[in-house]
Homo-oligomer: A and B are copies of this chain.
Amino acid sequence: MTTSPTTKIAIIGAGTIGLSLTALHLVQNPTCQIAIHDPRPDLQSYITTHLPTYLPQVDKATYQTRISLVSDLSSAVKNATIIQEQGPEETGFKQRIWAQIEGYAPPNALFWSSTSGIPASEQNREMKDKSRLVVVHPYNPPHVMPLLEVVPAPSTSADVVERTLEYWRTLGRTPVVVRKECTGFVANRLAFALFREACSLVAQDVVSVEDLDAIVSASMGPRWSVAGPFKSYHAGGGEGGLKSFMEKIGGTVQACWSASDEDVKREGIEVGNAWQDKICRQANESYGVVDTSTRDETTKKVLNVVGH
């Protein structure tokens, strides 16, 4: 399958994730055809205005012939080999649209949801064949970031997972299977755990928002770009690996975890509490409106260095 001229992709939902995914397929899979389906009335002008911002290096004419805007869902998916959905994050919407798509799409088409939180086992409730749907959760923006979290439901077939991995590997991306449908999947769970500790430390005036970001960008960021946390601590243990690391540094690790638990509780680091105002104000003062195109260009260079 995959990068042959026959790959026909239906993009269901053309918000920022949908456009970024469209750009990703167009660039990395140079022969694919893409049908974009979205109920917004200004779809044509919206696509014409915004899609090129995701495709700065590609001549407009080279991709215009490869995309079509399709207002009718059945026409959008009826010849598709891949159907990739990023509609509203509402369980009812997802359940309805997958049942509809199942009725229109070819029997072998892959069904992917970009949801960041609604598991395939909830989305597939009204489908006849619950083995077909799998969550493919991108890391934003997907035309830059290599990660795709592939999260099957218990009912998803191994063949669907395998073909999904194969497609993304062929495109040079990094699909990773999340073996259980846990809340938030893995990337957000990890990032939000660090984010909570970051909020707690700023709430306590240990550091400012800007200094905390400087700490991360001068330490864990570059380190984890090259070797993830387990590999890093495994290396930190020398020949004895992670076991030695835990024997030597475990006391410090536990002291940090215990202090963190106490601080988070005392400072009330739950969403919506008083600490949030301070952090949002500091972020505004330090950063204003962030220039994401510069950020993304630099991120591409980092990814290039680490072999993505």
Q: Is the pair B194, A255 in contact by a Cβ cutoff of 8 Å?
A: no
A274-285 to B contact mask, C-beta < 8 Å, 1/0? 001001101110
Give this chain's copy count. Answer: 2
* Contact A229 B215, CB 8 Å, known A206-B179, A301-B305: no
Within 8 A of B (CB), among A208-227: 209-227
The complex places the Cα of A287 from the Cα of B270 at a distance, in Å, of 37
Q: Is the pair A213, B193 in contact by a Cβ cutoff of 8 Å?
A: no
* Contact A253 B271, CB 8 Å, known A145-B222, A174-B214, A222-B299: yes
The complex places the Cα of A250 from the Cα of B195 at a distance, in Å, of 12
Q: Is the pair B257, A271 in contact by a Cβ cutoff of 8 Å?
A: yes
Does residue A186 face the partner (Cβ distance < 8 Å to B)? Answer: yes
Q: Is the pair A259, B182 in contact by a Cβ cutoff of 8 Å?
A: yes
Binds B, one of A20-28, A104-112, A230-238: A230-238
The complex places the Cα of A116 from the Cα of B205 at a distance, in Å, of 20
Give chain B residues whose Cβ lies under 8 Å from the Cβ of A223.
Answer: 139, 145, 221, 299
The 10 residue pairs across chains A and B that have the minimum distance between CB atoms: A213-B228, A221-B224, A193-B197, A235-B290, A221-B225, A183-B259, A147-B218, A184-B256, A254-B271, A174-B218
15 pairs, CB–CB < 8 Å, chain A vs chain B: A149-B215, A176-B218, A177-B207, A183-B258, A188-B256, A193-B197, A216-B224, A217-B227, A217-B228, A220-B224, A222-B299, A241-B289, A250-B272, A253-B271, A301-B305
